[in-house]
Amino acid sequence: MEPTKRVLSVQSHVVHGYVGNKAATFPLQLLGWDVDAINTVQFSNHAAGSDTTVSSLKTFVLAMLLFPECQAKAQDEIDRVIGSSRLPTFDDKDHLPYVNNLINEVMRWQPVTPLAVPHACTQDDVYRNYRIPKGAIVIGNVWSMSRNAEVYKNPEDFNPDRFLDPQVPKIPAFGFGRRLCPGIHYAEASIFITVVSILAAYTVTKAKDENGEEITPSTEGVAESVVYHPKPFKCVFTPRSEKHRELILAEA
């Protein structure tokens, strides 16, 4: 059976309820996959999403340490929209424009995949008079895009308000075209709910050394494979109030 027909066959079985109690084995039977292939796909999906999400959240915390005025502005918006009687939910997303812009700026300021994921051309192509032969490796330099001063004024600054201008594009943090990350919606939702929950419940501040002096973390990072992480740093999470502490404990 051709690969496309196999996938359609699986889809048909699922839609029409033929899978029954064989959910764990029907991919093996209908797609002809072995156990190792199934395990590899499962691991790849988890690993790809977890590593990049963790990197984004590290960068978010780093930005809150270095730009506390942005943290305060986001918390003011959350307090106005949600209040302090509950923690945020996914339903709040469309009502928190500054928080969404802050997340967009996190993605631009320190891109998770600075050189994206390399792709190979399946056929000869021409782009802006450049000939790209079949089999050539193409690398999308997301870092360079994020530092384009013609698009992002003062690109080294962390400025969520830049996205108030509808002409300013989001950085392509999840890839391009048909090879866009298939987990984009899950990743965006995970990052949003984590970021907004931290902002709602905690104030993130710099750690102090043995002399009581604040430790300012570095903005330098390290690239592990294609994923970029900030260098390890210390910080302090403090509940914003007793009421917020109670909310945290109630959700724990």
- CA distances from residue 119 to 116, 136, 180, 248 in whole angstroms, order as listed: 9, 8, 11, 43
Instruction: Give the mean model confidence (pLDDT) for residues 173-201.
Output: 89
Environment class of 173 (CB within 10 Å of its CB; exposed 0-12, middle 13-18, buried 19+): buried
Displacement of CA 67 from its chain's centroid (Å): 20
pLDDT of residue 157: 96
Q: What is the pLDDT of residues 208-238, one digit of tens each?
A: 999 999 999 999 988 777 888 899 999 999 9
pTM value is 0.79
Which pLDDT band holds residue 183 (cuts at 50, 70, 90)? confident
Q: Which of 34-38, 116-120, 134-138 has the lowest mean pLDDT?
A: 34-38
User: What is the DSSP annotation of the chain?
Assistant: --HHHHHHHHHHHHHTT--TT-TTTHHHHHH---HHHHHHHHHHHHHHHHHHHHHHHHHHHHHHHH-HHHHHHHHHHHHHHT-SSS---GGGGGG-HHHHHHHHHHHHHS-SSTT---EE-SS-EEETTEEE-TT-EE---HHHHHT-TTTSSSTTS--GGGGGSTTSPPP-TT--GGGS-TTHHHHHHHHHHHHHHHHHHEEEEE-B-TTS-B-PPP--EEEETTEEEEPP--EEEEESSHHHHHHHHHH-
Q: Which fold has domain 48-251?
A: Cytochrome p450 (1.10.630)
Residue 244 has pLDDT above 70, yes or no: yes
pLDDT of residue 192: 97
pLDDT of residue 37: 65
Query: Considering the chain, what percentage of its residues have pLDDT values greater than 70?
Result: 79
Contact 71, 204 (CB under 8 A): yes
181 among the known binding-site residues?
yes
Instruction: Give the mean model confidence (pLDDT) for residues 144-162.
Output: 97
Who's near 190: CB < 8 A, 6+ residues apart?
A: 49, 53
Domain ranges of the chain: 1-33, 48-251
pLDDT of residue 28: 55
- Mean of all residue pLDDT scores within the chain: 85
Instruction: Give the mean model confidence (pLDDT) for residues 231-248.
Output: 95
pLDDT of residue 81: 98
pLDDT of residue 196: 98
pLDDT of residue 10: 43
Q: What is the pLDDT of residues 70-123, one digit of tens each?
A: 999 999 999 999 999 999 999 999 999 999 999 999 999 999 988 888 888 999
pLDDT of residue 8: 46
pLDDT of residue 42: 60
